[in-house]
Structures are given as structure tokens and as C-alpha cells.
Amino acid sequence: MQDTDHLGRPIIVVTGVGLITSLGQGTDANWRALTAGKSGIHRITRFPVDGMRTTMAGTVDFIPVAVPSAPAMSERLAELVIEEAVTQAAIGQPGDFPGPLFLALPPVEMEWPQRLALAAESGARDTVTYDDLLRAAGSGDHHAYYERFLFASVGENLASRFGTRGTPIATSTACASGGTAIQLGVEAIRRGETESALVVGTDASVNPESLIRFSLLSALSTRNDSPETASRPFAKDRDGFIMSEGAGALVLESLTHARARGATILGVIEGCGEAADGFHRTRSSPDGKPIIACMRNALDDAGLTPDDVGYINAHGTSTPENDKMEWVGVSAVFGARASSIPISSNKSMIGHTLTAAGAIEAIFTLLTVRHGLLPPTINYDTPDPAVPVDCVPNVARAAVVSHAISNSFGFGGQNVCVVIGAAPGRS
Amino acid sequence: MPHDRDALITGVGLVSCLGEGLDAHWDALNAFSPVLDTTSFPGFPVHPMTALALDRQIPKRGDQRQMEAWQRIGTYAAGAALDSAGVKGDADLLSRMHMIVAAGGGERDYAVDSALLSALPKAENPGAYLNEHLLSDLRPTLFLAQLSNLLAGNISLVHGVVGSSRTFMGEESAGADAVRIACARIAAGQGDLFLVGGSYNAQRPDVLVHFEMGRLLWKQDFAGVWQRQEAGGGLLLGSLGCFLVIESRAHAAARGAAPLARIASVATDRCRRDAGVATAVARRQMAALDGTYDAAGAAVISGASGAAAATVEERAFLDTLGLPVRAGATALGHSLEPAFPASVALAAMALARGTLFPPLEPAETPMTAPLRDVLVTGWGHWRGEALAHLTAE
């Protein structure tokens, strides 16, 4: 195999991955649970759920964080998956990663515990206003809050700890963020700016307000009685997604660089595609054009045709809207094969890891290709005649896959698809 | 030597306390007088956004209602940039236009926050009370006005920029890296036409609380960025929207677009700001520019924020260059994410006119020679050091 692709660009390979989801910590543990069809969704115990419409989530409750907040927990998950990925890749030296960091990160803002602490410090009694918070902010030492809730803090801390090069790029394209981070890394290597890049998507933002924000958009499942069966992508009785946490890290390298240092190649990032949708803030164009363009752009970038693709890792959120629109897109791109190409949703088991989803699911896609085993879509009891997909219902299936697509579609009309291929020498 | 893949600025949309558009900014900077809002947040002056006729760039009232101020400012500035580049409404071009937005987060519902902060300490079951009231009192669409990537989303929706959409977060560095990556993609053939920028609303209490927690706000009588350092330094935040249309020379030439300036290079980096390390970063960035410009026709547009440590160190570094310097934040206020794109816009404005605007405070020296090159610095108030080099076209 040569070192350049169909357009003469460096081929980009993955040499290390790391994963945390509600299914557990570590790539092996996650892959075992995912292919066994286990669900990581459970009733929320992190905070009171009284009065909530949705009382379940795929929180990661087994990683302790001293002073919890969404950025602090997202940073901790990112640290752990980066350590796993860098260790597997055996690249650089501890604290000295030889490339830039691309980070998919949830938006950051001060949270209720800090707001309430300032309010208490202000001494205001009956009515607390932002004037009181402002007064309290300037007395006492709040530097730790200030730093924690800078958008740059997570990337800065990770860059310091892992010694990545240059400024860390923290990106948000909502639920497509992980895919965007991969694409940024791929492009940087293709430009010849670097031979390697560290990509991480992380999200640990399940807190009362964020859960309620999604609830108010009617985006979440309310099948609270049975959390493990609530996420049911492509099923007729799907009713929303499950908010979840997790992180995924990938070490990307040019094939030349990976070969030269004798690294084990886990798979190839063959192409990326993106397309924005100007139709609506939360809904896709009814004609599916942006989703279709996004998949086609990714295939063009990879130099492949739809016939080359053996598996689709769906965005598959389990909302009525997404899964229908994803089918519209897949049926347009894959034509007669649309109903027979396997397309499964990891979110049936891990829920929607939001900012991290694109990275986590790209890693699962890579493992699917690598191990020749398609993870199932669980909770698929009631097929939706309007969405006639082969979603690998309920049980994992062995299959040789040479090329797969991982789809990510976000609020704000931001869509990214990543094409992942088998490691050279196996096709 | 001109090259097909040079990155040219062919459009600018800039709105701030000084007004709307480059002409308004040029006029205001040539007769500088600070524009401050000292009454909305007593004791905490900010540079306010100029009055915007929103209908001109966001024609649907429904769209305006769905946004909060930071999005309206940004969507407005993006539309102005598209107008300025002559690509507004050109569906074919916009379908190939790549967008990189530098963004923070959106406004909160301050009344809801205040009511909850008042009631929660007295509530029998605070957790349940919080849930109940967030569910009943938050406007469902407020979330979409808060998400960082929804400025880009609104630009796609209102202006039809749909080639691609990416949002970078991370205060000043996000803006600098947005410009850097757009230029790098143009140079590498990873795109021809980009919309790059961001917006900031300084007139909101939550951002004042944030920077006050960092003890970073300037609360004394108005003083320029450099002069503030004699009294401990500090930020005067400024509401601002800035978008740049950046395109390859070949693409601009093919559609007959007139460039304002060329972005010859952009470098960004970070350090932990141990004493002198940011200077070392900046020296490396400068060394890469050796021989690429003639000091006689060169000036610096500094992105210095006013924050003490970074501003003092940057000033000492700039003094070693011996070039005329202007700190844009003196006039526009400090605007975090769009600060670097705005500095680039001021540089392009001056280069297109062939002359630098007058000093904004005593520490700045006049320049009479024709302006050919501008170095744009972007040292974040906390982290990040950026340097761009722009040349006249």
C-alpha cells in the first residue's frame, strides 16, 4: 500500500484510541459491553430529579472528580481517554505529544452551585440580583471559578498535561463536534503541518439545567420506567434521545509516520465530509439535502462510492425526526442498497454523548471494521415501516467490512460524516 | 510574488461602539473619543454596541426574536461582511463558503436566575424547586440562543452560508485560530472562500461577574490600554461583531472581487505565561517574519486586552520592534473571541487606505509614512499568543 491517497494526500491512520462511556472505562470493556448489547442508561442519582420529565441518563458516575462541574468532569474524562490512546499508540514521551490537540468540548458556563455560592457570599437577603453577584465576585478569592469557566481552560490544561503542540483547538458543532475535531486533525496532517494529531471528544454535562434545556425542546425520551430500553433508534415507538456522558480519544498519524516508527495501525480515516443546513435551528431540511451532501462529500473525499461501504454507524439518536431524516439521507445516497446495508446505532446502548458522540462513535466504527463484528441496535422490537433499515436488530452480527461511515448531525444544522477503512494489509 | 492561493480579505463586517462599517470606524479612530456605557452596570463601564438597524441584516422578526444579543450582533456583522464582499444572496457561492466562527456562550435569563437565587436558599427542597422552576420559567428556545455553535447556525439560517460550519471556543485564541486555519486551508487548497469571525456582547451581567471573579475589570475613569498599566491594568469589555470574508487570490480574481489586504501569515501558540515565556513565543513568531516586510512602512495593531501581566509584557516586547503601535481595544473595548478578527479588520482598513490612524493615547507614536505592512498581535488576557502579518494589495 502506498502512503498517499487517491488525491496524493498523506493517508491518515489511527494508532491509538481511548474510551469512556456509561458502559465503563477502557476500549476493551466498552467494546465487549457494546457488542453484548448492554445498556448504560440508568436512573439519575447525581442530583434530585423531582419534577423532571426525564429522570434517566447515561451519566458516567464511576470517575471521581474533586470539584465537579461540566468542564471539570469533561476534562477528567478527556485526560483518561487520552492516556489510554497515547499509551496504546506508544507515541512521543509522557507529557510530550508530537502534534496538536483538537478537542470537542461542550460549551462552558458558570453553574448553579457557583452562582448560589456567590449569592450566599453577597449577603443579599430577600432578592438576589446580578448586582449582588457582581459585588460578591469582587470580594473574596474567586480566581478558581474564573479560570474553570473560561472556555479555554479545558484545552489549556490538557495541552499542558500532554505537551501537545501549538494552541489547542476546542470546537463545537453541537452533536457533530467529535466528527469536526477528527476532521480538523485530518486536515492538519494533510496540509503537512504535522505528522500526528491528538483528537478527543468529551462531554460530561448532565446537570439539572442542561437536562431541562433538552427537555424543553422535547428532545428527550420520557420512558423513565425502563431506562435500559428507552433509547430505541429506528423503532416505531422511539420518543427521544437519552442524554449521556463519555469521551473518546484518537491518535491520528500519517501512514508514513506510523510505519516509520513501527506503530500498530488500527484503521484508516479515509475521508471526512461536512455540510451545513440553513433550514431550521433544530430540524433538518425536509428534503435531506444537507445530510445527503454530507455523506457524499465524505465518500468523495475518501475516493469511494456508496457501493464500497459495508456498514453505517448511524447518528441514530432515537428521536422521531433524526432517524427518519437519516433514512431519507441514506436511501438517497445508497439507493437500492439502502435497506440492506447494515446501519446500527450505538446510542441505543450508550445514549447520546452529545459533543463526544462523533469521536466515540468513530472509534466504535473503527473497532467494527477491525473486529469484523457489527454492534447491534438494541430495543428494536417494533420496526418503523417508514424507516426500513437493517439496523442489526438487538444482536451483534459478524461481517467483514472494509469501509464504513460514521454519521454525526447537530443542532444548528452542522453535519459531519467520517469514512473509516480497514488497516492496510487487510481488505 | 502574487500566488493563486494567497489569502485575501475581500469583505469586512464590523460593528462596535464606534459604529458600523470600516468607514465609520476610520472616521471615529481619526477623531477618537471613547464611547462608554457607565450607567447600565454602575461601577462597571463597558463599550456598548452602536444602535443597529437589525432589519437590514436579519429581515425576519422571528429570527431576531429567536436570538439573544450576541447572536444578533454576530449575524448582523456576518451579513455586513457578505455585503461588503459582494457575495450576499449568491446561493452558489454561499453553498461553497466555509464558515469558522469563534464563539463563547449566550446570555442567560437574568430574571429567572435572580428569582431562583432569591428563592432557593429558603426552599424546603431546593433540588425539586430548581427543577420545577427551570422547567416552568425558562423559555424553551433560550437554549438555542446560548449554545456556542448557534451563532454559526443562525448565520446559515439567515444568510444561507452552508458550505460548512465550525465553531471554535476559547476566548481570544479561538478568534486567532479561526483566522489561521482559514488561511492555512486556502494555502493548501482545502477551500477557496471563507467567512471567519465572531461576536461579543459585553452588556450582560454574567460576563462581568466572570471577569470580576478574575479581578480583571477596569473600574476607574477611562484610560487607554497602555495608560491603564500605570494603575494596575484591567479590561474594559466591548460589545463587538466582526466577520471577514477571506478568499484565495484566484477565486477573488475570477469573480472580480477587490481585496482590501492580504493575510501573508498567521501564527498562534500558547504557553503557561511563566515570566518571559510569552515574549519568547512572540520572538519566535517574529523571527519567522524576518525579511518579509520593510519596517519603514510597517505598524502594529495590538490586541492587548489591558489585563496587567499580559499587556505589560507585550508592551515591552513591542518596544523592541521600534514600530508604531495602536491598541484597538482602547477604542473598541476588549471583545475576547472576535478581538483578533477585529484587529485584522482594522489592519485591512488601514492598509486599504495606505495610512495608519492617529495615536489613541500618549504612549502611541504618530506614523506619517505610507503603510505597507501591519503586524497584528493577539495575546489573550489569560492564554494564547498570536501574530498575523498583513500586507497592502
- Taking the Cβ of residue B34 and every Cβ of chain A, the question of whether any pair is shorter than 8 Å is answered with no
Residues of chain A contacting residue B379, judged by C-beta atoms under 8 Å apart: none
- Dig out the grid coordinates for B35 from the structure: 464611547
Mean of pLDDT values over A32-43: 98
* Closest among A343, A345, A348, A349 to A389, alpha carbons compared: A343
Number of domains, chain B? 1
- C-alpha–C-alpha distance, residues B368 and B372, integer Å: 12
What pLDDT, on a 0 to 100 scale, did the predictor assign at position A426? 63
* Average pLDDT score over chain A: 96
CA distance A140 to chain B (A): 9
Among B132, B169, B270, B381, which would you mutate to test the A interface (most chain A Cβ atoms within 10 Å of its Cβ)? B169
Is residue B117 in a domain?
A: no
What pairs with residue B386 in β-bridges?
A: B268, B378
- Give me the pLDDT at residue A144, please: 97
Asked if B171 lies within 8 A of A107 by C-beta distance, the reply is no
Residue B27 lies in a domain: yes
- Is the CB of B285 inside 8 Å of chain A's CB atoms? no
Nearest to A275 among B164, B169, B206 (CB): B164
- Compute the count of residue pairs across chains A and B with CB atoms less than 8 Å apart: 251
Q: What is the average pLDDT across B345-349?
A: 98
Write out the residue range of the structural domain in which residue B289 sits: 7-106+147-392
**Range list of β-strands (E), B207-347:** 240-248, 261-269, 298-302, 325-327
Q: Report if residue B34 sits inside a domain.
A: yes
Distance CA(A116)–CA(A44), nearest Å, equals 22
Give me the pLDDT at residue A281, please: 85
Alpha carbon separation from A351 to A58, A393, B260 (Å, rounded): 6, 16, 49
For residue A1, what pLDDT is reported?
66
Q: Is B212 on the interface with A (CB under 8 A)?
A: yes
Q: What is the pLDDT of residue A425?
A: 77
Of B162, B174, B185, the CB nearest to A275: B162
> CA–CA separation, B158 vs B76, rounded Å?
10
Q: What is the pLDDT of residues A121-161, one digit of tens each?
A: 999 988 999 999 999 999 999 999 999 999 999 999 999 99
| Domains with residue ranges and CATH for chain A | 12-109+150-415 (3.40.47.10), 112-148 (no CATH)
Active site residues of A: 175, 315, 352
Q: What is the pLDDT of residue A296?
A: 97
Count of CA atoms in the C-beta half-sphere (13 A) of B11: 26
pLDDT of residue B1 exceeding 90: no
Mean pLDDT of the region A106-111: 97
Rounded CA separation B173/A419 (Å):
30
- Average pLDDT on A413-422 reads 95
Q: How far is B244 from chain A, CA to nearest CA, in Å?
A: 19
Q: What is the ipTM of this complex?
A: 0.98
Q: Chain A residue with minimal CA distance to B145?
A: A281
| Percent of chain B residues topping a pLDDT of 70 | 100
In a domain, residue B127? The reply is no
Tell me if B105 and A278 make a contact (CB, 8 A cut-off): no
Strand (E) or helix (H) holding B178: helix B171-187
**CATH code (residue B338):** 3.40.47.10
In a domain, B46, yes or no: yes
pLDDT of residue A427: 46
Q: How many CB atoms lie within 10 A of CB A151?
A: 27
> Are B44 and A134 a contacting pair at CB < 8 A?
yes
pLDDT of B197-237, one tens digit each? 999 999 999 999 999 999 999 999 999 999 999 999 999 99
Reported as a single tens digit per residue, the pLDDT across B24-64 is 999 999 999 999 999 999 999 999 999 999 999 999 999 99
Q: Report if residue B207 sits inside a domain.
A: yes
- The answer to the question of residue B311 being in a domain is yes
Q: Say if B45 falls within a structural domain.
A: yes
pLDDT tens-place string over residues B356-377:
999 999 999 999 999 999 999 9
Q: Do B209 and A118 touch (CB under 8 A)?
A: yes
Among the ranges given (A20-34, A224-238, A256-270, A407-421), the one the predictor scored with the smallest mean pLDDT: A407-421
- Calculate how close chain A gets to B247, using CA atoms only, in Å: 17
Average pLDDT for residues A32-50, to the nearest whole number? 98
* Residue A148 to residue A142: CA distance in whole angstroms: 10
Model confidence at A411, pLDDT cuts 50, 70, 90, reads: confident
Predicted confidence (pLDDT) per residue in A315-356, tens digit: 999 999 999 999 999 999 999 999 999 999 999 999 999 999
Distance from CA of A381 to the nearest CA of B (A): 32
Put simply, whether B194 touches A (Cβ < 8 Å) is no
> What whole-number distance in Å separates Cα of residue A149 and Cα of residue A166?
21
**Are B214 and A142 within 8 A, CB to CB?**
yes
**B162: chain A residues, CB-CB within 8 Å:** 275-278, 290, 413
pLDDT tens for A209-233 read 999 999 999 999 999 999 999 999 9
Confidence (pLDDT) at A279: 86
* Closest residue of chain B to A273, computed from CA coordinates: B164
What mean pLDDT do residues B277-297 have?
A: 97
CA distance B241 to B7: 21
Chain A residues whose CB is inside 8 A of the B100 CB are none
Q: Which of B63, B93, B94, B149 to mutate to test the interface with A (most CBs of A within 10 A)?
A: B149
